[in-house]
């Protein structure tokens, strides 16, 4: 029997080659997209799950009640208070990060991101040591554990244990253990962890000053502890501690580790690598849309042939098949169709896996599909697809009269008036248009946003800007001065300056600033960036009002500041020049505003540009900034490197071009955005295939009518009009549903970006019109095909 069914399936597939091909291709693309998305989503959900105590590990988060902002960076001084006063915390550790430290061993020197963590990190997280004792490795000040890769980099084949790494040319760290490479799905990704107690030596203020927010707290909570009670205790303690720091009301909450990766606010100071729950959700929605449309497509494929198939089923019924048998045959056919598509989809996934990994920065492989959760999801999704796609044809087959089916007149149903069924088909068509129009709008909006981010005015000129890292130590400023003098003579270098931060760096120095004479609570959180003369000019930032720092004014160093526009607005300064501000750089004297510059983007577009206050200080020399002419860059670079090496051999020559740094900064956003765009586009293709199927179906049922019209002397155009009329109404109705939905959902999606495009009305007009054009194109194609056929043939067809 099975063979008999399979024979029919095979012959039907080959009988209608083009339609089979289009439909299998559509279904395969749909399944492949879903497989990719499933892999992606499951990979995102895997983060931090490798921790044995995952369910009981939490990270402390601070919520700003006023702005709703969330962040997790907390004064390290609070850690021991919390550990001591909350017995529910079984263990915990604090961790902070030192970006771009210069680590050296003998002649080798590199720039590294060094993590500093409390000694219990290995008891909370399931990181493991290859060598060394996890209980004691991070107890002593100035001890450090490193991964094999780092060890190899500095010590080659030598055993690193007991060796000394020099930190910023100043402090000697003893290697006490070898850290196994952290699992790929860890949101914390250290390769060098030093003991937190080292801070006593390096930067004691970080451990004692409540205004120094520099650490992240992780706690392992007792298994039977009540989280709400812990949260209450937490808030009570922290409220007290914070009460003398004049800041807006805050709430402290414990965030489960499993949520950290996807829900981390992703601010500039975030210590963990993170994904976005928003994208996971977008992907889930796209998957459902894709599958829904793929099932519609299959439905219309079945419906196109339903008269023929209905007759076959009727004959089979008379030869002995019962309903179960016919249902079985239907299922088998659908299963076979899906199976072929699945195989093609797997091939597609396999072939494009590399590209997908490149696009998403993941390490997925085909075999990952074999995880049981994914297998179950695939099965569930396939069942969903099958169920949706065969319901309608089955209802028709089962409710229509046996005799009617034998005669090939399927639509005369015993239970349903023919009109109602026609309504159903219009609803399906309408839904298909709703999804298509929605997708067109989504594609346009996402594309525009990505484009906007790419071409956004950064507020400064990023071309040929070179930044050299100049680590923080006692020689920092002299090094800078010397280099400035040495390279200044090179005609390919336009200017040399320095700043604590350069654009594309994270800003990490924030302070409370308030207008002199007003209360501290009325002030604002503002970034402060120490710069040298010429910094703003080198960046080519535009002044809105006032002037740049100048050596001609004695008071500029130490007494004057320049605001960015955001700071000026946040402080509410109408006449900023001459205004006096307190709180900058902990100075006791107020500082006078001498100028306001345009906002420039230091960080990702997802971040709103913070208020920034620029001031002159000699520790501004952390990043040396050079503007080059742009010709002969290679030799200029060689020249600069030689000079740098000549000045000091202890510091690595670490440089970056700001335009490239920006590309990197936006890469992840662009990548994920591009992936969303890509899948939306696939979904669009699939929905167009569906429209093609549906309209072909309609054209076929109208074949006879068009034939008669032609015999009666009507032109092809008349037939075209007759068919278009019906679709026009459906498309208009579809627009009414799709466009508000698109507006609502895309508006939400855009909220994620601080700098975003406006959703223009023309996007919606365009989406509706494009859908209409697609429909008209398909209708014309079908009408011409039918109408130019021999009318006698079409007439005989029925």
Q: Which residues bind another protein (CB under 8 A)?
A: 1, 4, 7-8, 11-12, 15, 308, 311-312, 314-323, 325, 402-403, 406
Nearest approach in angstroms of CB 765 to another protein is: 46
- Calculate the CA 315 to chain-centre distance: 55
Q: What is the DSSP string of 551-604?
A: TT-TTHHHHEEEEEHHHHHHHT-SS-TT-EEE-GGG-SS-EEEEEEE-----S-
* H helix or E strand, kind and range, residue 795: helix 791-797
- Chain center to CA of 510: 26
Region for 572 from its dihedrals, namely left if φ exceeds 0, alpha if ψ lies in -120 to 50, beta otherwise: left
Closer by beta carbon to another protein, 323 or else 542: 323
Q: What is the DSSP string of 729-772?
A: HHHHHHHHHHHHHHHHHHHHHHTT-SS-----HHHHHHHHHHHH
Task: Give me the least distance between CB of 453 and another protein, in Å please.
Answer: 55
Cα separation, 531 vs 177, whole angstroms: 39
| Nearest distance, CB of residue 310 and another protein, angstroms | 12
- The nearest distance, CB 315 to another protein, in angstroms, is 5
DSSP class per residue in 674-726? HHHHHHHHHHHHHHHHHHHHHHHHHHHHTHHHHHHHHHTT--HHHHHHHHHHH
Where is 390: in which H helix or E strand?
Answer: helix 372-399
Measured from the CB of residue 321, what is the shortest distance to another protein in angstroms? 6
Give the count of alpha carbons within 13 A of 22, CB side only. Answer: 18
How near is the Cβ of 398 to another protein at its closest, in Å?
9
Number of neighbours of residue 753 by Cβ within 10 angstroms? 18
**In the complex with another protein, which residue's Cβ is closer, 88 or 312?**
312
Q: Cβ 14 to another protein, closest distance in Å? A: 10
Cα-based distances in Å from 661 to 146, 456, 463, 672, 695: 27, 15, 11, 18, 50
Closest to another protein by CB, 343 vs 403, is 403
Under 8 Å between Cβ of 643 and 485 = no
Give start and end residues of each alpha helix (H) in 95-226.
121-124, 148-155, 199-202, 205-208
Nearer to another protein, 1 or 351 (CB): 1
User: Beta strand pairing status for 213-221 and 171-179?
Assistant: unpaired
Q: What is the DSSP letter of 649?
A: S
What's the CA gap between 781 and 783, in Å, rounded?
6
> Toward another protein, which CB reaches closer, 245 or 402?
402
Alpha-carbon distance 361 to 189, whole Å? 15
Minimum CB separation of residue 789 from another protein in Å reads: 19
Tell me the two tokens of residue 638: 């060689």
Pick 11 or 519: Cβ nearer another protein: 11
Tokens 């500082």 label which residue? 591
Q: Using CA atoms, how far apart are residues 299 and 690, in angstroms rounded to an integer?
A: 9
Element (H, E) at 512: strand 510-515
CA distances from 646 to 104, 368, 643, 652, 686 (A): 18, 52, 5, 12, 62
Structure tokens at 372: 């049981």
CB of residue 328 to another protein, shortest distance in Å = 12
Q: Which residues contact 441 (CB under 8 A, 6 or more apart)?
A: 738, 739, 742, 743, 746, 763, 764, 767
Alpha carbons 420 and 728: distance in angstroms, whole number: 20
User: Nearer Cβ to another protein, position 406 or 784?
Assistant: 406
Give the nearer residue to another protein in terms of CB position, either 322 or 365.
322
Which is closer to another protein, CB of 305 or CB of 490? 305
Name the residue nearer to another protein (CB basis): 54 or 312. Answer: 312
Nearest approach, Cβ of residue 1 and another protein (Å): 5
Question: Which residue, 12 or 231, has its beta carbon nearer to another protein?
Answer: 12
How far apart, in whole angstroms, are the C-alpha atoms of residue 165 and residue 482?
Answer: 27
Least distance (Å) between residue 723 CB and another protein: 28
CB of 673 to another protein, least distance (A): 48
Q: How far is CA 174 from CA 162, 164, 181, 600, 612, in A?
A: 6, 5, 19, 42, 39
| Complex with another protein: residue 312 or 486, whichever CB lies closer | 312
Q: Which contacts of 221-229 are long-range, i.e. CB under 8 A and separated by 24 or more positions?
A: 221/56, 221/57, 221/58, 221/88, 221/89, 221/90, 221/254, 222/56, 222/87, 222/88, 222/89, 222/90, 223/56, 225/88, 227/254, 229/88
Closest approach, Cβ 423 to another protein, in A, equals: 22
Residues written for the chain: 798
The minimum distance between CB 797 and another protein, in angstroms, equals 15
Min dist CB 262 to another protein, Å, is 51
With a CB cutoff of 8 Å and minimum separation 6, the contacts of 96 are 76, 115, 116, 196, 206, 214, 215, 216, 271
Strands 591-597 and 192-195: unpaired
């Amino acid at each position: 029997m099975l063979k008999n069914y399979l024979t029919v399936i095979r012959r039907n597939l080959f009988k209608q080659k083009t339609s089979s091909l289009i439909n299998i291709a559509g279904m395969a693309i749909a399944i492949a997209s879903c497989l990719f998305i499933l892999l992606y989503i499951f990979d995102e959900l895997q983060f931090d799950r490798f921790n044995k105590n995952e369910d009981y590990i939490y990270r402390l988060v601070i919520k700003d009640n006023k702005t709703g902002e969330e962040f997790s960076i907390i004064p390290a001084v609070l850690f021991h208070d919390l550990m001591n006063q909350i017995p529910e915390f079984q263990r915990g550790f604090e961790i902070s990060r030192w970006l771009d430290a210069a680590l050296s061993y003998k002649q080798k020197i590199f720039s590294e991101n060094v993590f500093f963590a409390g000694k219990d990190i290995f008891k909370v997280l399931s990181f493991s040591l290859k060598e060394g004792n996890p209980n004691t490795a991070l107890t002593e000040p100035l001890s450090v554990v490193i991964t094999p890769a780092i060890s190899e980099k500095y010590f080659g084949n030598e055993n690193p244990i007991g060796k000394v790494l020099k930190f910023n040319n100043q402090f000697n760290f003893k290697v006490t253990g070898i850290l196994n490479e952290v699992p790929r799905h860890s949101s914390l990704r250290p390769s060098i962890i030093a003991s937190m107690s080292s801070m006593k030596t390096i930067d004691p203020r970080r451990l004692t000053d409540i205004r120094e927010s520099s650490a992240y707290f992780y706690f392992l909570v007792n298994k039977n502890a009540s989280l709400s009670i812990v949260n209450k205790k937490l808030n009570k303690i922290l409220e007290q501690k914070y009460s003398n720091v004049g800041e807006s009301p805050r709430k402290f909450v414990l965030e489960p580790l499993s949520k950290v990766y996807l829900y981390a606010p992703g601010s500039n100071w975030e210590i963990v690598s993170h994904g976005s729950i928003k994208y996971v959700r977008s992907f889930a929605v796209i998957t459902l849309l894709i599958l829904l449309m793929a099932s519609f497509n299959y439905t219309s494929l079945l419906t196109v042939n339903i008269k023929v198939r209905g007759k076959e089923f009727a004959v089979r019924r008379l030869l002995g098949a019962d309903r179960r048998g016919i249902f079985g045959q239907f299922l088998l056919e659908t299963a076979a169709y899906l199976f072929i598509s699945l195989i093609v989809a797997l091939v597609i996934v396999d072939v494009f896996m590399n590209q997908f990994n490149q696009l998403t920065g993941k390490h997925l492989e085909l075999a990952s599909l074999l995880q049981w959760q994914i297998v179950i999801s695939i099965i569930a999704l396939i069942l969903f697809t099958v169920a949706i796609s065969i319901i309608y044809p089955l209802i028709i087959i089962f409710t229509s009269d046996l005799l009617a089916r034998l005669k090939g007149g399927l639509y005369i149903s015993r239970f349903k008036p023919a009109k109602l069924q026609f309504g159903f088909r219009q609803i399906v068509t309408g839904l298909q248009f709703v999804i298509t129009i929605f997708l067109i709008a989504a594609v346009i909006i996402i594309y525009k946003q990505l484009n906007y981010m790419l071409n956004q005015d950064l507020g400064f000129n990023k071309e040929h800007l070179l930044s050299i890292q100049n680590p923080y130590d006692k020689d920092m400023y002299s090094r800078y001065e010397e280099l400035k003098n040495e390279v200044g003579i090179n005609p390919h270098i336009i200017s040399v300056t320095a700043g604590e931060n350069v654009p594309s760096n994270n800003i990490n120095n924030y302070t409370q600033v308030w207008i002199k004479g007003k209360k501290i609570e009325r002030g604002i959180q503002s970034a402060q960036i120490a710069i040298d003369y010429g910094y703003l000019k080198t960046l080519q930032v535009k002044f809105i009002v006032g002037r740049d720092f100048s050596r001609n004014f004695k008071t500029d160093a130490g007494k004057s500041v320049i605001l960015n526009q955001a700071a000026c607005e946040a402080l509410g300064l109408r006449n900023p020049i001459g205004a006096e501000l307190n709180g900058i750089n902990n100075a006791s004297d107020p500082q006078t505003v001498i100028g306001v510059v345009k906002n420039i983007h230091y960080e990702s577009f997802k971040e709103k540009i913070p208020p920034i206050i620029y001031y002159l200080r000699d520790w501004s020399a952390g990043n040396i900034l050079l503007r080059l002419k742009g010709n002969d860059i290679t030799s200029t670079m060689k020249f600069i490197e030689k000079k740098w090496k000549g000045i000091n051999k202890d510091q690595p020559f670490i440089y970056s071009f700001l335009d490239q740094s920006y590309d990197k900064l936006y890469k992840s956003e662009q990548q994920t955005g591009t992936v969303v765009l890509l899948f939306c586009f696939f979904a669009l293709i699939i929905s167009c295939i569906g429209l093609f199927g549906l309209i072909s179906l309609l054209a076929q049922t109208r074949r006879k009518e068009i034939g008669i019209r032609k015999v009666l002397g009507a032109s092809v155009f008349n037939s075209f009009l007759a068919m278009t009329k019906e679709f026009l109404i459906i498309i208009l109705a579809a627009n009414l549903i799709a466009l508000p939905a698109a507006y609502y959902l895309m508006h939400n999606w855009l909220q994620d970006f601080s700098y975003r495009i406006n959703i223009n009305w023309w996007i919606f007009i365009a989406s509706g019109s494009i859908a209409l054009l697609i429909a008209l194109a398909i209708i014309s194609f079908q009408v011409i095909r039918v109408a130019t056929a021999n009318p006698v043939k079409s007439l005989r067809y029925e």
